[in-house]
Structure 1
């Protein structure tokens, strides 16, 4: 009897295993299909869940240095700032939070940065799936991924994203740790600060674990150099980083997105540094008393950090109003698409400029580097700019309504910093009552997720119509 039942038992076990395997595969297919078809819902859901978890952790007594529970508005604000890699704070990172609290913050920034790169990559796959076979192959070439990953394999692409991001952050940490050790910190402290700054810089978070920030390292290029390197790399975006890793400096093989991103980034970097230096050169409250070499370092550092990094070497309240205006413009511009930087993105600026130049020349199409920009891309660019300007305007108005003494310039600065997920502050975030902190928290979330969800919604909702209405031009200007 036993010998006859054994084959049947083995067959039944094998059948059950096969059923479980098929169910697991079906679940994986459904999850992958959902992530590609609904990146906007995925972004909203994932970030809301992450913010809720990190808020509860930061509100707990063990997260504060005093051992007391942190107020909900401060815990929520810090959680949103970390997960959305902004860097704005309502309490001192070094003084208020315990080691556990700082660890939770930097884990939030690390996960937020990976989440942003991941969602942006999924969006690229979602767009490529709408293009047909030829479009998919073009997307594969533009993303510089191999084989199945660009043709719809979410897992393969995500592994590349995560491995690349972690490797670059590890490299930055390796550059920073020896310097902190040389400056007199013990090895555990040097390692912690190196890792903290590596994650904070690459993910454009701008958090600092030192009570006096980076001011003591204002002339130390061994510290400032890796930080600028990390912020610059993080602000380029995963598609650009992959192109540079594969083709390096062979510009002929770069795709249009890479060329536009690097060109506009370098223009803003140089122009921002020159303008900031010209205005602040003789300002005794910032860099007026420094020698020329230190001034140049401060100018370059300010230009790199203004577009999303969030680290600062001078008090933003000490800058002239012209520098504040320049900073506002650079923060609103932001970094590259599919990056950890915020703002409206440099490619949006490039597309808008090319559209204007085409209109000035009387040309029908906007063109760059031998390629034509589709009309749909220009409409998305206009929508992103309009959304960003509207969010900043509404937030500024609400902050002024909550506390009129804050002043228009400071309220506008803080709103743009929150929308662009920059993290530079004039102290408004800390001064605001809870209502103002909730407004800025919502703006940070909208600024981080808004562009992703808007771009995906507009791209995925494209549909062909069977008829065309008569054309009539309204008067413009």
Structure 2
């Protein structure tokens, strides 16, 4: 433990491994499984990993396969995975700020105001308060809707509402209906609370807290907050418009709806693409042009230190600014009248390229082990698992056992990978007292 504390980056993967192991053991108890006997080991492991990593991929039908205690355990694991990654990411931010020298700590304090604060208890309590209040409001709205409109008994309405509120805010994606939210595609009182909860949870608390605190002065936001907030807005609009254009006339998705229902279903699905995991249309019935859109948005994911996965919005748009500066021939990468440190640029490039490598390897393994799997299907499944989105073209139960193991590994790495890699790079940064002569090799 002392060695782990001296290298705090190890705490993230170890903590999540422990949570997955505990969740697997509990889910294998006969009381959690609807059928006689305990749940199969691989099914329990797959479900526990999916819940802790807040992915939402399921090897079996959630409602018919798991008993009420099993559903409670899945809910707790999802909550633990969502809040735990927020807490650990925030604590790692504090650790990084303490390990840097005085000059770099001042820069970090300017660029990450919330994470640079020294009051850990204040930070964690504020995160917990935001999580609980948001989930409580979502639960209240969903409970009233289930009870008043769909004639659910009060107890069932509250249980279903709480389950989907936790899944929605934490971007989990487990649903108690075989078609996810497709049956509620035209109901704004079901879709909108889950969509907005997923958006809030996917922004990341450092950006969210600062945006709320300085909402009257967005020009004073830090670079990280600007990239996250405005980048998320751009992605939401682009995904919404793109999805509408691609699926407007598709008779198997948005085609049969009237235009208000089309707008609602498209907005909810757009909010869920980047990590939410719920679906308001049949994913198998999408036009082929929609799959690249989904894959791209899933790979980008949500905000840093959030319940979302992917390479993160700030990473993607920082790389876009790097490309723009290079194309223009600018010596510095500038975002909002602030120069971006070269270390941050290298960190973003490292995270992105490592993520691409993992996706390529995972896709290759799935294609090799499953002969009748098409390339775009394998790529979709791999990106969905790595980005902890949870959207699926087919139930995981139909996926061969080797591929299920690949998805388990990708869900785990996708959840803790970017945070661990980014923190490790920052913690391993050390000054060098000499520099080698510079050369400029030919590129391209």
- Same fold by TM-score, threshold 0.5 exceeded? yes
1:206: which partner in 2?
A: 173
Q: Which residue of structure 1 aligns with residue 80 of structure 2?
A: 111
The answer as to 2:43 corresponding to 1:43 is: no
Q: 2:128 aligns with which of 154, 162, 165?
A: 162
Q: Deviations 1:442-463 (Å, cap 9, x if unpaired)?
A: 0000111111110011111101
User: Judging changes above 3 Å, is the alpha-carbon distance between structure 1 residues 105 and 424 closer, same or farther for their aligned structure 2 residues?
Assistant: same
> Where do 1:214-253 residues align within 5 Å?
214-253=181-220
- Structure 1 unmatched ranges of 5 or more: 1-29
The answer to whether the 8 A contact 1:414-1:428 is kept is no
Of Structure 1 and Structure 2, the greater helix share is in 1
What is aligned with 2:256? 289
Alpha-carbon shift at residue 106 of structure 1 (Å): 0.8
Q: Does 1:317 align with 2:284?
A: yes
* 8 Å CA contact 1:127, 1:459 repeated in 2: yes
The correspondence of residues 189-200 of structure 1 with structure 2, limited to 5 A, is: 189-200=156-167
Number of the residue aligned with 1:356: 323
Match of 1:176 in 2: 142
CA distance 1:179–1:144, shift in 2 (3 Å): farther
Q: Give the superposition deviation at 1:464.
A: 1.1
Structure 1, 121-130 or 438-447: larger mean CA deviation: 121-130
Which of structures 1 and 2 has the bigger CA Rg? 1
Counterpart CA distance in 2 for 1:392 and 1:249 is: 40
Q: CA deviation at 1:430?
A: 2.2
- The match for 1:120 among 47, 67, 89 is 89
Contact 1:39 / 1:122 at 8 angstroms: preserved in 2?
Answer: no
| Matched residue, 2:66 | 97
Deviation at 1:133, TM superposition (A): 4.9
Structure 1 residues 408 and 326: alpha-carbon distance in aligned structure 2, compared to 1, 3 A threshold: same
Deviation at 1:359, TM superposition (A): 0.7
C-alpha contact (below 8 Å) 1:143/1:150 kept by paired residues: yes
What residue number does 1:343 align with? 310
Cα RMSD, aligned residues only: 1.8
2:26 to 57, 60, 72: 57
Which has the higher mean CA deviation after the structures are superposed, 81-90 or 292-301?
Answer: 292-301
Q: Secondary structure at the match of 2:127?
A: helix
Q: Are residues 1:425 and 2:370 paired?
A: no
Contact 1:201 1:309 in 2 (8 A): yes
Provide, for residues 319-343 of structure 1, a one-character-per-residue CA deviation record: whole Å limited to 9, x for no partner.
0111011101110010111111000
Name 1:15's counterpart in structure 2.
none
223-232 or 178-187, which deviates more? 178-187
Q: Counterpart of 1:380?
A: 347
Residues in 2 aligned to 1:352 and 1:447: alpha-carbon distance in whole angstroms = 19
Deviates more, 1:319-328 or 1:212-221: 212-221
- Which residue number corresponds to residue 10 of structure 1? none
Report the Cα distance in structure 2 between the residues aligned to 1:279 and 1:168, rounded to whole angstroms.
Answer: 33
Contact 1:269 1:303 in 2 (8 A): yes
Rounded to whole Å, the distance in 1 between the matches of 2:238 and 2:116 is: 36
Deviations 1:16-48 (A, max 9, x none): xxxxxxxxxxxxxx98x965x533211011000
CA contact (8 A) 2:112 2:224 kept: no
Matched-pair contact (CA < 8 Å) for 1:136–1:151: no
Q: Could you tell me which runs of 5 or more consecutive residues in structure 2 were left unpaired when the two chains were aligned.
A: none
Report how many residues are paired.
Answer: 443
Equivalent residue of 2:412, what SS? helix
CA distance in 2, matches of 1:417, 1:100: 27
Shift of residue 140, structure 1, vs aligned partner: 4.9
Q: TM-score, normalised by structure 1?
A: 0.89
Measured in 1, the distance between the counterparts of 2:345 and 2:226 equals 17
**Comparing 111-120 and 164-173, the one that deviates more:** 164-173
Q: Is the CA contact (8 Å cut-off) linking 1:106 and 1:200 kept in structure 2? A: yes
Aligned to 1:406, the other structure's residue is in SS state: coil
Separation of aligned partners in 2, 1:136 and 1:168: 32
Q: Report Cα offsets for 1:239-276 as digits up to 9, x if no partner.
A: 01211332234313322211111111111111111111
Per the normalisation by structure 2, the TM-score is 0.96
- The aligned counterpart of 2:226 is 259
Partner Cα separation in structure 2 for residue 461 and residue 83 of structure 1: 28
Aligned partners of 1:127, 1:59: CA distance in 2, in Å?
38
8 A contact 1:260–1:350 mirrored in 2: yes
Alignment correspondent of 1:85: 54
